[in-house]
Structure 1
């Protein structure tokens, strides 16, 4: 087999590994967000009927809405719990095994959802959504880590960004499956809620055939032979000494260091600006209001004159926009870089938030303004998909070392899920109180985030961890005369000269 054929074989193995992990991973996040829109009225009716049968109590409209809000919001709280346990799980079991074990939460939740109607139990639906949230919280943290540690440097961004592509694909898939012609009808909403088990089963059948993260095998487990074998399978050829040397350098720099805890990162000055960056960007991903705009889309489409029967089909276009944008971003990220796409996405979102506010302000005065509002929804989501949706998940992999990476993902995931919960709770009040100005706060967040990226975040494309750490070192110790020097530089020289494959 020629070298080109070997490299193509390795690329195919990496691609299939990414697909296997993502189908049962971040796809679940987008899918479980989308499938809750279609059965809203059916589940609310079920809630009322359950209370009547149990206690002969006819719930008021606001009481039904309150129970429904709990069902929806518990997903975010479950995700927060999943983000908190993702780090310890990925350290103890490894990246691949952690993703496989994560399906226990998913399948348990799917079973509860499937049997909730027959059992006449609203509580089972709530518990089901919490378990599915835990599953999504773990996969949203561990999957980008797995991809970033397994892909070669020139494909690291594209591989990690595929997490966002599959999230967007999950949204579209959930919107399609939720159509009334498929599973979005009154008699089968329980099957819709339980349909997330299918991607999980696919992952359980396929992911065991692929290798563990090479960096985890060498740095965390100290198994050099297993690391080399994993690299050979993922590259399709003999391992390049430069790639192994980079992993050995990271191992030497973290030698004798245990995995960091989240609170320890807050006390470590050497990662201060890396941590601030992760907190800011992960928070902005939800505070920009992109997920909330999905809920607001139905109102705008209705104002534009689209009938209620057709709104569900038009809404699929919103998910399709983000899916398309994420694919384009995947193709551009290794050419344009992370910083360019992230800052550009936030700038365009700021612009469209302003236009959206103007369109909403004049929608009753100018006949075509509702259509401009509709266009703003699609362009806002496109801008989000082109930058923040994908790049955010890559950053912790590229700016933290192996010992700090799981804790960094725990913090990033916690901020994302916590802010998703907050925005989900306050968005209806923003719409009611601020009306046409409801997207001004989101636009402000996008503008401030773009400024932060432009002023603080260095470009990480194609750079080693040592080079990236050196750039952050200038920020972390800018007031002190201290030169960055990897502690393992001498050790690395010995390692590289004694390692030839």
Structure 2
């Protein structure tokens, strides 16, 4: 997932350098200057084609997971990572800006597959009591990658005419590291037992993952899931969409992905420097404030790891969306203050402070919940049969929303000016209400227990609650639901 974070943020810092390279190549080839509009279109294509590749990779994730396994799919995916990074690295040496665009597309496919396969793999290998915390490590890797790209992209390091090819090419390092380390990692025991019916291989994998020979409880839980899912052993996307029992989990998974991308966070990631400069900061201060965004994301994701299995997914999601809603309003207020009191220097200084604090707080609340939970809750809401198809659909929606925000935000900003963040405020309010009304708590529940919540909801309006006071009470509730 570090690949995803790094390649999301890496293209923005060397924007001017890459545009100058495109102009130089065009002049060398055709003996005339490239128009400003063409430069803008080519650079926008290099940025947005990453999301198009991500859509393709995310949509293919379920098929790759079923055919090659979770670990096998991730291992093969690194070949794409190496190819994409090398194309970008050698673009300047080859005098071909097309290599940047093709490389961004290939690395987009790589990242799309990662966003589908990694949460699936992590949720299937994690012990029940650590599934939330380990799922949050996905987002931690994304934020570390984002921060790394921001730091390396400053002019003092690699944000120069000579340094930017290496900056883009460094994406080869995580891919090579995975090619070395993944072969010694175990395959998902759920995939081995439920999909392949290789029980002894699943036991071996579990013994390595748990560092213990006492794995019968995990095996029995997988067998229960296998028995419950015999009719859905290999469910297609169309069957998933048409299934009455699985429709609500699918809707929740899709809305959670939309809540992440349509919250306005990508507008902050892609255009934070220009947002800060328009609020009154100098160019240099704006760049360091942008690095502050990456640092806060990383710090708050670390804080949320222990909270995920202590507080619960739903609670953190409500806090995160609520906080983002409040501070998106403050961002709008800071823009309006500049508009109405722009002639008073003291007000400009105070407004710049308000804008930076509001934006950093907005990012902080994103890291608490909406940053990590959508990736893992989709994997948690579905059992082994429909999980790959559900992840493919959810990740496709995520990348599509990512692409739309990246393309639409500059036009939206020109049209709405100081009110740019108001549509995001409205969407955040809608997502908060949906989460409060519809999203169940998945903390410390097995995949079969989570599915039982929706089965019960499909047939009756009675609320289902699981008592944790004794094993006997939990088992009796499960028998009642299955009956």
* TM-score above 0.5: yes
Alignment: residue pair count: 458
TM-fit CA distance, 1:479? 7.8
| Secondary structure of the structure 1 residue equivalent to 2:187 | coil
**CA deviation profile, 1:421-475 (whole Å, cap 9, x unmatched):** 0011110011111111100111111111111111011111001122211211233
Match of 2:207 among 210, 213, 232: 232
Range with bigger deviation, 412-421 or 390-399: 390-399
CA contact (8 A) 1:271 1:476 kept: no
Query: Aligned equivalents of 1:178 and 1:473: distance in 2?
Result: 50
Query: Aligned equivalents of 1:251 and 1:361: distance in 2?
Result: 57
- Alignment match, 2:309: 334
Map residues 366-381 of structure 1 onto 2, 5 A cutoff.
366-367=347-348, 368-381=350-363
Match of 2:413 among 409, 431, 449: 431
Query: Aligned equivalents of 1:193 and 1:98: distance in 2?
Result: 24
TM-fit CA distance, 1:331? 1.4
TM-fit CA distance, 1:478? 4.3
- Alignment match, 1:486: none
Match of 1:145 among 120, 141, 146: 120
Query: Aligned equivalents of 1:240 and 1:221: distance in 2?
Result: 19
Pairing 1:212–2:205 present: no
Query: Aligned equivalents of 1:111 and 1:241: distance in 2?
Result: 46
Range with bigger deviation, 438-447 or 252-261: 252-261
TM-fit CA distance, 1:303? 4.1
Query: Aligned equivalents of 1:198 and 1:89: distance in 2?
Result: 23
Query: Aligned equivalents of 1:359 and 1:307: distance in 2?
Result: 16
Match of 2:330 among 355, 361, 367: 355
Query: Aligned equivalents of 1:311 and 1:225: distance in 2?
Result: 56
TM-fit CA distance, 1:314? 2.5
- Alignment match, 2:451: 469
Query: Aligned equivalents of 2:53 and 2:312: distance in 1?
Result: 33
Task: Give me the TM-score of the superposition, normalised by structure 2.
Answer: 0.92
CA contact (8 A) 2:207 2:215 kept: no
| Secondary structure of the structure 2 residue equivalent to 1:117 | coil
TM-fit CA distance, 1:383? 0.4
Query: Aligned equivalents of 1:478 and 1:277: distance in 2?
Result: 19
TM-fit CA distance, 1:241? 2.8
**CA deviation profile, 1:461-500 (whole Å, cap 9, x unmatched):** 00112221121123334489xxxxxxxx9xx99xxxxxxx
TM-fit CA distance, 1:165? 0.7
TM-fit CA distance, 1:55? 2.1
Query: Aligned equivalents of 2:351 and 2:275: distance in 1?
Result: 10
Range with bigger deviation, 400-409 or 57-66: 57-66
- Alignment match, 1:163: 138
Range with bigger deviation, 89-98 or 308-317: 308-317
- Please list every run of at least 4 consecutive aligned residues from structure 1 whose deviation after the TM superposition is greater than 4 angstroms: none
**CA deviation profile, 1:116-158 (whole Å, cap 9, x unmatched):** 1122112111000000100100001100110100011001111
Return closer, same or farther for 1:410/1:58 CA change in 2, 3 Å cut-off: same
Match of 1:313 among 284, 288, 298: 288
Query: Aligned equivalents of 2:149 and 2:274: distance in 1?
Result: 20
- Alignment match, 2:467: none
Query: Aligned equivalents of 1:210 and 1:120: distance in 2?
Result: 40
Pairing 1:119–2:94 present: yes
Match of 1:262 among 237, 250, 273: 237
Return closer, same or farther for 1:256/1:269 CA change in 2, 3 Å cut-off: closer
TM-fit CA distance, 1:304? 5.1
CA contact (8 A) 1:232 1:239 kept: yes
Return closer, same or farther for 1:458/1:479 CA change in 2, 3 Å cut-off: closer
| Secondary structure of the structure 1 residue equivalent to 2:58 | helix
- Alignment match, 1:69: 44
Match of 1:57 among 18, 32, 38: 32
Pairing 1:85–2:60 present: yes
- Alignment match, 2:70: 95
- Alignment match, 1:14: none
**What is the RMSD of the two structures over their aligned residues, measured on CA atoms?**
1.7
Query: Where does the alignment leave 5 or more consecutive residues of structure 1 unmatched?
Result: 1-25, 481-488, 494-501
Return closer, same or farther for 1:455/1:256 CA change in 2, 3 Å cut-off: closer
